[in-house]
């Protein structure tokens, strides 16, 4: 059985743990001085949390703007 979800987190994780994902995030790994898988996973988790916060704030701002213009 194949389930469809709202997000394609498996594809994102596959990219993050690939060589191209590692190369894209290498500056952040160096910036935070992380070493090893645990350190890299902490950076990835922090990045995903920060991005989700930004997207959530954007959705709230857009919703607020739309409600103000409807009145």
Instruction: Give a yes or no: residue 46 inside a domain.
Output: yes
Q: Is residue 64 part of a domain?
A: yes
Asked if residue 4 is part of any domain, the answer here is no
In terms of pLDDT, which residue wins out, 4 or 37?
Answer: 37
Q: What percent of the chain has pLDDT over 90?
A: 59
| pTM score | 0.72
**DSSP states of 11-69:** HHHHHHTSHHHHHHHHHHHHHHT--HHHHHHHHHHHHHHHHHHHHHHHHHHHHHHHHHH
Residue at 1 is within a domain: no
The residue-averaged pLDDT of 6-35 equals 86
When divided into structural domains, the chain yields a total of: 1
Question: 61 lies in which domain range?
Answer: 9-70
Q: Which helix (H) or strand (E) holds 10?
A: helix 9-16
Q: Is residue 18 part of a domain?
A: yes
What does the pLDDT average to over 28-52?
92
């Amino acid at each position: 059985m194949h389930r469809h979800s709202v997000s394609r987190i498996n594809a994102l994780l596959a990219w993050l743990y690939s060589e191209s994902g590692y190369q894209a995030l290498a500056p952040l790994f160096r910036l935070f001085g992380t070493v090893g898988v645990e350190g890299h996973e902490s950076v990835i988790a922090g990045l995903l949390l920060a991005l989700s916060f930004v997207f959530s704030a954007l959705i709230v701002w857009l919703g607020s703007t739309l409600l103000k213009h409807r009145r």
